[in-house]
Chain A
């Protein structure tokens, strides 16, 4: 899977040059959408980390995404006290994560007294308070409604204070490399970003995976299955839930930091807003709630859909307009294409979502696992083992 993501961009470039290039351009996601897949996938995974594994629906999860994004942008603009403008991105990113961790503990301390729908509502309430505060707080930007923008140089991904490594990984958005390691491979600026963000997402995924497969993670699942029993066994479920919420907030903030650093700005409507949480919820259901990689695949499907239906270059609508014979392409058909296809991803996503809720409640990965009876990696391994004998 990882290899596929590493190899995809060059492969995509080759496919575009084949005779079917126009079709590939229309139906395969471009690199900019891939980058979106990465950080949104991480956010969806962090949402699933708390909601899918402990069963506590965190309806205000966008808050942590927003905190990560804002800390990075504000730090880059020198507006976080005690942090200079030139602080390496890795440090501000982790700092954002820690702030989100602390905030998650504060919100959790109050919210975990409640369960079910009430927990969802109180986290939503906190998120809306924070959203309105940020949106009207004129310290963050000249126009807080549209959010702060990075004024300084583009942030760098790399190990802080180790210059050689920073250079090797390049800036988050900007550097391009020609003839890497003398192999004759060129890496464009976008591609550098893609790999740099991908690495952070991959590391975060492994970290979350590690937590879930540790004894701590088993307790989280025990809480989801039967909290009373988990408590009766002697676990202090409150602190387990708090810690899980904190970790989840931390990784959501990492995702937010990546978003802000890549886009260079942090509009409150795309960071702190309720709909950001809703997007994570939707892709989590489509991918499979309670499976860590599932939300990532959900995000991949969503971003792919969005790319295919985008009205800009590389979408289905421009492709149809260019390739349909003039006889079919009357004004009526063109109207249908404009209204029903171009930029309509949320509509189709909504329909797919409802169908999934009705017919595939376990989501993509969950259903595959049910069929195989185990996680994909183990099950495939077992099958292969069988054929060896």
Chain B
């Protein structure tokens, strides 16, 4: 740790830096960074939104979130591989993808509800730490089970299973020229999907009765209970939905050019989802959206900086994201839109 800064200093090349700043100010570079940033933001949002609504109502930090996403990245991948042949048209692939995402969402929502009734419900009266521990244990078990199944089926131990990634339609792998910038199709798809999911979740939160409970519960859950609302039932449904949303995130990562299904996804998704949720303010939907955009843009910018050769440091975007977390917590501990002292029973 000592001397980290001195070790990093020679990595920045001054003439390159001047050149890079010049290029950064060009319109097409900016457009590319921004659009790709939005694409990444959409993915961050999709993996984090389930976590935030569960925390919003229940005050439960679901440490099994990453495992859910990981598990269903696999399952979605398998479903896609089974249903798709090389002759399947891109349109059919899209339709299948959406169908798979819907099926998985339904399955996992049911799974999450059962889990809530069976395991989480008995320990609501304890300190919040025990819910973190419990869900973490569940995540651990799911990860190991996946490892057993995938190794028995010969999918692992390669870190990334390429079978699922290969089902991506060619139209998403192509690069499109938008405002003079070359954007991978997948990011455009992610932006559309992210906006759709954000709209649906927003509508759920503001236009339905359960949404009302969640918003009320994140303000004052004791009062909600006192008003005679069946909080237990709401908990079960919300936990189920949060789990289902994690699954949709997992299905998305299946086609992500930088991810793909792997057991390691568990911790990775978990950490990224936490970063987004914490920066945005635990339990705040608006905050999660804003934080996803922030983190996505930072990711896209630092990826570009690394690719220009300006900084020879492969872990740059990860470092930046976690630095953002630290800075956000120092400057605004409750997050961008968070309420102080939110959650906890």
A117 at the A/B interface (Cβ < 8 Å)?
yes
Does any Cβ of B come within 8 Å of A316's Cβ?
no
How many chain B residues touch A (Cβ–Cβ < 8 Å)? 49
Residue of A nearest to B134 (CB): A357
A389 in contact (CB, < 8 A): no
Instruction: Kindly provide the distance from the CB of B309 to the nearest chain A CB, expressed in whole angstroms.
Output: 15
Contact B318 A350 (CB under 8 A): no
CA A281 to CA B132, docked complex, whole Å: 11
A133, CB-defined interface residue at 8 Å = yes
A357's partner among B1, B130, B318 (CB-CB below 8 A) is B130
CB proximity of B154 to chain A, nearest CB, Å = 12
- Within 8 Å by CB of B137, from A116, A139, A354, lies A354
Report if A142 contacts B (CB, 8 A): no
Interface residues of chain A: helix, strand, loop or mixed (majority): helix
CB distance from A87 to the nearest CB of B (A): 16
> What's the least CB distance linking B64 to chain A, in Å?
10
C-alpha gap A385/B7 in the complex (Å) = 63
In the assembled complex, the Cα of A129 lies from the Cα of B326 at a distance in Å of 9
Beta-carbon contact of B123 and A358 below 8 Å: yes
CB pair A114 B138 closer than 8 Å? no
The reply to whether B148 and A136 contact each other, CB–CB distance below 8 Å, is no
Encode A354-381 as 1/0 by CB contact (under 8 A) with B: 1001100100000000000000000000
A116 touches B344 (CB 8 A): yes
Q: Is A333 an interface residue (CB 8 A)?
A: no
User: What residues of chain A lie closer than 8 Å to B102, measured between beta carbons?
Assistant: none
Selected interface stretch from B196-204, B205-213, B267-275: B267-275
Residue from the set A81, A278, A340, A350 with the largest chain B CB neighbour count within 10 Å: A350
Within 8 A of A (CB), among B108-161: 119, 122-123, 126, 128-130, 132-134, 136-138, 140-141, 143-145, 148, 151-152
Proximity string of chain A (135-163) to chain B, C-beta cutoff 8 Å, 1 when within and 0 when not: 11101000000000000000000000000
Cα of A99 to Cα of B3 in the assembled complex, Å: 12
Q: B145 to A347, Cβ gap below 8 A?
A: yes
A110 x B137 contact (CB < 8 A): no
* Bound complex: CA A349 to CA B144 (Å): 10
Considering only residues 50-74 of chain A, those with a C-beta below 8 Å from chain B are 57, 67
Residue pair B322, A128 in contact (C-beta under 8 Å): yes
Residues in chain A near residue B61, CB distance under 8 A: 117
List of A residues within 8 angstroms of B145 by Cβ: 347
Known contacts A132-B315, A340-B148; A81/B3 CB under 8 A: yes
A117 and B128 contacting across the interface, CB-CB below 8 Å:
yes
- Distance in angstroms from A386 CB to nearest chain B CB is 35
Chain B: CB-nearest residue to A359: B122
Q: A275: CB under 8 A from chain B?
A: yes
Binds B, one of A14-22, A118-126, A236-244: A118-126
Q: Are A358 and B134 interface neighbours, CB within 8 A?
A: yes
Say yes or no: B314 contacts A347, CB within 8 Å.
no
Report the bound CA distance from A134 to B129 in whole Å.
30
| B104 at interface, CB cutoff 8 A | no
Residue of A99, A117, A339 most packed against chain B (CB within 10 A)? A117
Query: How far is A128 from B141 in the complex, measured between Cα atoms in Å?
Result: 23
Please, what's the 1-or-0 string for B3-15, where 1 marks a CB less than 8 Å from any CB in chain A? 1100110000000
* B274–A124 CB distance below 8 A: yes
Selected from B4, B123, B133, the residue in CB contact (under 8 A) with A285 is B133
Residue A103 lies at the interface, judged by CB distance under 8 Å to chain B: yes
What residues on B are CB-neighbors of A282 within 8 Å? 137, 140
**B133 partner, pick from A99, A130, A132, A357, beta carbons under 8 A:** A357
- State A202–B126 Cα separation when bound (angstroms): 34
Residues of A within 8 Å of B282, CB to CB, are 117
Residues of chain A within 8 A (CB-CB) of B1 are 67, 99, 103, 130, 133-134
A16 CB, nearest partner CB in chain B, Å: 30
Residues of B close to A347: CB separation below 8 A: 140-141, 144-145, 148
A358 touches B330 (CB 8 A): no
**Quick check: B7 and A281 within 8 Å, CB to CB?**
no
A323-359 vs B, Cβ < 8 Å mask (1 yes, 0 no): 0000000000000000110001011011101100110
Closest to A130 in B: B1
Q: What's the nearest-Cβ distance from chain A to residue B160, in Å? A: 16
B315 near A136 with CB under 8 A, answer yes
> In the bound complex, do residue A122 and residue B326 qualify as a contact, i.e. CB atoms below 8 Å apart?
yes
Contacts of A113 in B (CB 8 A): 330, 333
Asked if A351 contacts B329 (CB within 8 A), the reply is no
Is residue A24 within 8 Å, beta carbon to beta carbon, of the partner chain? no
Smallest distance from the beta carbon of B233 to chain A beta carbons, Å? 22
Instruction: List residues of chain B with CB within 8 A of the CB of A139.
Output: 3, 7
Report if A358-B119 is in contact (Cβ < 8 Å); known contacts: A113-B333, A117-B282, A118-B333: yes
Q: How far is the CB of A109 from chain B (nearest CB, A)?
A: 10
Nearest CB to that of B144 among chain A residues? Answer: A347
Q: Which residues of B contact A125 (CB under 8 A)?
A: 275, 322-323, 325-326, 329
What residues on B are CB-neighbors of A353 within 8 Å? 133, 137, 140
Q: Is A274 an interface position by the 8 A CB rule?
A: yes
Q: Given A136-B313, A354-B119, A354-B137, are A122 and B2 also a contact pair (CB < 8 Å)?
A: no
Some 13 contacts from A to B, beta carbons below 8 A apart, are A113-B330, A117-B343, A121-B329, A125-B275, A125-B326, A129-B326, A132-B319, A136-B316, A137-B8, A281-B136, A282-B140, A353-B133, A354-B119
Q: Please name 4 further chain A to chain B contacts, defined as beta carbons within 8 Å, in addition to the given A137-B4, A281-B136, A285-B133, sorted by A numbering.
A: A99-B2, A114-B333, A117-B132, A132-B315
